[in-house]
């Protein structure tokens, strides 16, 4: 009798690489409406995680590190909803580069997926930000939550371009590793545990997630009565962080794992050569 998946060992890294590649082919071939709808969901999910983070870190007296850790665990709600609930997230979909490198999807198909999903994510994040403003969530804690949201946005808009790019790279290394680890699990519990720590780490370390910033920056601007957040600073952050996310996810995770597990081996390439003839027998 086969063991229950609940008690089975996690998939091994080579198996995960094959599963991620197969997933990439499926995502690349999905129809546009499906990608857009699931992209909107993912943007909303990440935004809800961002709002949860904002509330948790507001007025915390636990110290910098512990507060950031708890905030990061709260933020992981967003990726848990994406992975377990089923949605399309631009940063996680940078793993499609594995299917592309294996020659199973075209450049056009990969870029089509990224573009449609990114647009859906932005719509979901902006829509959630608007609902949060209408709900007056910034008034929580006597207005302290709103001030926290504004200060988060100010810090992001004032971040230097090189720092924003580097933080975007590092962020999506951890996000794509979270998705990678979740692909190794069998149960919902496996997936949640796999996601929580990498996401908590990137948040605690102050790295930059492009889709989350499509929530944090517009929300902060809506609450910024002082006018201290410039549109130029916000736009620059979103552009540079998005580019950094692509590099971190597609090159440093998908690319490295493709080289480790999926590249054609020298032996396989050697099999394409015609066999040498054996010397004649006497």
pLDDT tens for 184-207 read 998 999 999 999 999 999 999 999
Helices 161-183 + 231-246 axis angle, to 10: 40
Q: Is the pLDDT at 279 greater than 50, yes or no?
A: no
Question: 169 pLDDT exceeds 60?
Answer: yes
**Total domain count for the chain?**
1
Per-residue pLDDT at 270 exceeds 70: no
Q: What is the CA radius of gyration of the chain?
A: 22
Number of CB atoms found within 10 A of residue 91's CB: 32
Would 281 be classed as within a structural domain? no
- The predicted-structure confidence for 234-267, as pLDDT tens digits, reads as follows 999 999 999 999 999 999 999 999 999 999 876 6
pLDDT at 51 over 80: yes
Residue 49 has pLDDT above 50, yes or no: yes
- Average pLDDT (72-86) is 96
Q: Is the pLDDT of residue 16 over 60?
A: yes
How many percent of the chain have pLDDT more than 70? 91
Residue 268 lies in a domain: no
State residue 20's pLDDT score: 95
Round to whole Å and give the CA distance between 66 and 56.
11
- Residue keyed to tokens 């999903």: 117
pTM of the model: 0.90
| Per-residue CA distances from 49 to 17, 38, 214 (Å) | 28, 17, 13
Average pLDDT of 208-230?
94
Do the domain assignments include residue 273? no
> Does residue 136 belong to any structural domain of this protein?
yes
- In angstroms, the first-to-last Cα distance of the chain is 57
Residue 124 belongs to a domain with what CATH number?
Answer: 1.20.1080.10
Say whether pLDDT at 208 is over 50: yes
pLDDT at 47: 98
Q: Which domain holds residue 251?
A: 10-261
Q: Is residue 271 part of a domain?
A: no
- For position 198, what pLDDT does the model report? 97
* pLDDT of res. 242: 98
Residue whose entry in the numeric block shows the structure tokens 């020659």: 103
- pLDDT value, residue 226: 84
Whole-number pLDDT of residue 269? 53
Please give the average per-residue pLDDT across 18-33, as a whole number.
96
Residue 266 belongs to some domain of the structure = no
Residue 276 lies in a domain: no
Residue 1 lies in a domain: no
Query: In the prediction, which pLDDT does 277 show?
Result: 44
Record the tokens describing residue 190, joined without a space.
């496996």
């Amino acid at each position: 009798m086969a063991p229950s998946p609940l008690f089975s060992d996690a998939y091994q890294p080579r198996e995960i690489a094959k599963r991620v590649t197969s997933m990439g082919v499926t995502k690349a071939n999905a129809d546009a409406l499906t990608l857009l709808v699931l992209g909107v969901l993912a943007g909303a999910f990440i935004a809800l995680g961002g709002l949860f983070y904002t509330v948790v870190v507001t007025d915390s007296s636990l110290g910098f590190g512990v507060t950031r850790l708890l905030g990061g665990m709260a933020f992981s709600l967003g990726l848990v909803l994406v992975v377990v609930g089923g949605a399309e997230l631009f940063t996680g979909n940078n793993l499609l580069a594995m299917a592309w490198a294996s020659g199973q999807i075209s450049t056009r198909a990969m870029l089509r997926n990224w573009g449609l999903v990114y647009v859906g994510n932005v719509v979901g994040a902006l829509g959630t930000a608007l609902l949060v403003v209408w709900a007056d969530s910034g008034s929580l804690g006597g207005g302290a939550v709103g001030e926290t949201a504004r200060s988060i946005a100010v810090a992001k808009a004032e971040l230097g371009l090189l720092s924003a790019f580097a933080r975007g790279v590092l962020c999506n290394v951890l996000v794509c590793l979270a998705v990678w680890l979740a692909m190794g699990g069998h149960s919902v519990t496996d997936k949640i545990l796999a996601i929580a720590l990498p996401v908590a780490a990137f948040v605690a370390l102050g790295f930059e997630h492009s889709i989350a910033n499509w929530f944090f920056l517009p929300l902060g601007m809506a609450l910024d009565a002082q006018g201290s957040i410039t549109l130029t600073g916000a736009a620059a952050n979103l552009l540079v962080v998005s580019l950094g996310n692509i590099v971190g996810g597609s090159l440093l995770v998908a690319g490295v794992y493709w080289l480790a597990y999926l590249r054609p081996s020298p032996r396989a390439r050697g099999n394409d050569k015609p066999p040498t003839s054996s010397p004649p027998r006497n």
